Structure 1
Amino acid sequence: MIASLLPDEVYADESFGEGPDDGAGALFPEEAATVAGAVPKRRKEFAQVRSCARSALARLGVPPVPLVPGRRGAPRWPAGVVGSMTHCAGYRAAAVAREADAVGIGIDAEPDGPLPEGVLEAVSLPSERKALGALRARSAEVHWDRLLFSAKESVFKTWYPLTARELDFSEAEIAIDAEARTFVARLLVEGPVVGGARLRHFAGRWASEAGVLATAVLLPHGGGADGPAPSPSGGT
């Protein structure tokens, strides 16, 4: 699912289901120390998503290395590599690329169910909530509020390694294209300079499979900078 959202220069690996064990034996000591005090569910997710990441890195030709989280949980990737990880109930995925091929990657997965009560108001803008109403009127097959949340998470995961700064939910406006299965995130704050140009927006894609919603953002060299953000062809 994740691989279908990203171009060929990105290598991805994913797994569905809960998995047969916690995978703790596959962790490097530095990684195991990070989750030593965590509950079993957290340790299992941590280990299994790193198994996906190492598989993706192997396809890139990178040997296994510790993938220790830094501030805000962003993994520290090997030199010359950009990537992202995600996990939710019944799903784990990782995607990686060479820095020569991409500036940044952000992926996120969420269960295809409604957001808990009160969360939508905390993570969305009035314009986004209005657009969600139109999406719901068009199709009830996807929980659009959860997809919006996932898209913002993918945007944050792309933004943070570039800036080392928080990006509030209210600081990027998401427009979802239901037909093309794409989205555009317009930055409402000053973006970083990438390749000599100011970043104005992120573009991403989304998918739904086996009760899981997935979103992905790839920031290419020279992409998403000065100029207007592309408009989703199908509207919101």
Structure 2
Amino acid sequence: MIEELLPASVAVEETFDDLPESVLYEQEKALVAGSTAERRKEFATVRGCAREALARLGVPPAPILPGPRGAPGWPGGVVGSMTHCAGYRAAAVARSGDVTALGIDAEPNRPLPSTGTLELVTVPEERHWLPRMAARHPGVNWDRLVFSAKESVYKAWFPITGRWLEFEDALITVDAEARTFHARLLVPGPVTPDGRRLTGFSGNWAVRQGLVLTAIALPAASAPPDASALYPSTRSS
């Protein structure tokens, strides 16, 4: 499903079932040795997905160990992103010569747990348009979509900056018909490795099989040099 939100240069693997913990390298097993069985299964499965996706790029299998703030450490010359929620795991990877940064996220298509959570993850401008979108398109839990979009933004942001990004540091707007979103950064944006100053990120979204899916792919320097945003994918959503 999530591959439809990303360009063809991105290799994606997803699954609705967990893999055995035996797919983990010893270094990976050590990281979750004291975790619950559920945590060990999701950790193993999403890394199994990542290695399958890397194989499509011709990258040999290797441990995928968390780096700063838990971000996965990818092989040299590769960018990637992973996501997991109840009943779904996925990984997306690309050559850094094709894509500068990736961010993917999957969430249950259910409302956020409480009003307090909504206040935490949204800014006033977003809370202004959420009721209107909910009335027009009741099949989508728009608060959860905003949360997912910000998770994808952070996953694309962190490998470039090495810095935290708070929920209130980005303003999400959504196109319900095109199934795209844009995140305007409310803090100074990073400079990409190829010298572009970013002021926002754009991506695609979908609601499928009870899930909200969001994805961002920042093209490398060969793309048109519009520093204001990421570009929509080349595939339809």
Aligned to 1:211: 210
Residue 229 of structure 1 and its aligned partner are, at CA, apart by 8.7
Paired position in structure 1 for 2:159 = 161
Tell me how far 1:225 sits from its aligned partner.
5.1
Contact 1:83–1:94 under 8 Å retained in 2 = yes
> Pick from 52, 61, 65: which aligns with 1:68?
65
Aligned partners of 1:150 and 1:215 also within 8 Å:
yes
Q: Distance in 2 between matches of 1:103 and 1:30?
A: 27
| Match in the other structure for 1:93 | 90
**What is the one-letter code of the residue matched to 1:166?**
W
Structure 1 residues 229 and 68: CA distance shift in structure 2, 3 A? closer
- Could you tell me which runs of 5 or more consecutive residues in structure 2 were left unpaired when the two chains were aligned: 232-237
Structure 1 residue 6 corresponds to structure 2 residue 3:
no
CA distance in 1: counterparts of 2:40 and 2:196, whole angstroms: 40
Contact 2:182 2:203 in 1 (8 A): yes
Aligned position for 2:147: 149
Partner of 1:234: none
Task: Report the AA paired with residue 145 of structure 1.
Answer: D
**1:190 alignment partner in structure 2:** 188
Task: Report how far residue 101 of structure 1 moved.
Answer: 0.3
Deviation of residue 196 (structure 1)? 2.1
TM-score, normalisation: structure 2: 0.92
Measured against aligned partners, the alpha-carbon deviations of 1:50-74 in whole angstroms (never above 9, x if no partner) come to 1110110011111110001112211
2:21 matched to which residue of 1? Answer: 24
SS of alignment partner, residue 99 of structure 2: coil
Q: CA deviation at 1:226?
A: 3.5
Taking the aligned partners of 1:229 and 1:73, their CA distance within structure 2 comes to: 24
| Cα deviation digits, residues 54-100 of structure 1 (max 9, x gap) | 11001111111000111221100000000000000000000000000
Q: What one-letter code is carried by the residue in structure 2 that aligns with 1:170?
A: E
Assess, with a 3 A threshold, how the Cα gap between structure 1 residues 165 and 228 changes in structure 2: closer, same or farther.
Answer: closer
The answer to whether 1:124 aligns with 2:126 is no
187-196 or 29-38: bigger deviation: 187-196
Whether the 8 Å contact between 1:186 and 1:229 is mirrored in structure 2 is: no
SS in 2 for 1:214: strand
Matches within 5 A, 1:34-73: 34-73=31-70
Distance in 2 (CA, whole Å) between partners of 1:228 and 1:36 is 40
- Kindly report structure 1 stretches of 4+ aligned residues shifted beyond 6 Å: none
Shift of 1:137: 1.5
Could you state the TM-score of these two structures normalised by the residue count of structure 1? 0.92
- Percentage of identical aligned residues: 57
Corresponding residue number in structure 2 for 1:176: 174
Task: Tell me the CA shift for residue 227 of structure 1.
Answer: 4.5
Deviation at 1:221, TM superposition (A): 2.0
Letter of the structure 1 residue corresponding to residue 181 of structure 2: F
Cα offsets for 1:91-117 (capped at 9, x unmatched) = 000000000001000000001111011
Whether contact under 8 Å (2:20, 2:44) holds in the other structure is: yes
Q: Is the 8 A contact 1:200 1:225 kept in 2?
A: no
- From 66, 76, 79, the equivalent of 2:76 is 79
Unaligned runs of 5+ residues in structure 1 are 231-236
Counterpart of 1:178, as a letter, is A
Counterpart Cα distance in 2 of 1:139 and 1:154: 22
